Amino acid sequence: MNQEATLEVATLAGGCFWCIEAVFRKVNGVENVVSGYTGGTTANPTYKEVCTGKTGHAEAVQVSFNPSKISYRKILELFFSIHDPTTLDRQVADTGTQYRSAIFYHNEQQKAVAEKLIGELDKAHLWGKPIVTQIVPLDTFYPAEDYHQEYFSRHPEQAYCQIVIAPKLKKLNLI
**Catalytic positions:** 16
Provide long-range contacts, Cβ within 8 A and 24+ apart, for 4-7. 5/66, 5/67, 5/68, 5/69, 6/67, 7/31, 7/64, 7/65, 7/66, 7/67
Which residues make Cβ contacts (< 8 Å) with residue 78, sequence separation at least 6?
23, 24, 27, 172
Q: CB–CB of 46/54 below 8 Å?
A: no
Q: Is 90 helix (H, G, I), strand (E, B) or coil?
A: strand
